[in-house]
Amino acid sequence: VNIAYTSERLKLHLDLAYYESPPGLQLLHALRYDATVQGGLDFVHMRWGLRYEWRQVTAMFWSPPFEGVPTRIPAEKLPAYYAAYRALDEIIQENVIEFKLKQGELVVFNQRR
Question: What are the residue ranges in the chain where pLDDT is below 50?
Answer: none
Domain count for the chain, please give it.
1
Rounded CA-CA distance 111/41 in Å is: 12
What residues make up the domain containing 33?
Answer: 12-110
Domain-embedded: residue 4: no
Q: Which residues contact 16 (CB under 8 A, 6 or more apart)?
A: 22, 23
Cβ(53)–Cβ(87) below 8 Å: yes
Residue 112 confidence (pLDDT) = 73
Element (H, E) at 107: strand 106-110
List, in sequence order, the alpha helices (H) in 1-113: 43-53, 78-94
Residue 70 confidence (pLDDT) = 75
What single-letter DSSP state applies at residue 26? E
Domain-embedded: residue 5: no
Residue 11 confidence (pLDDT) = 66
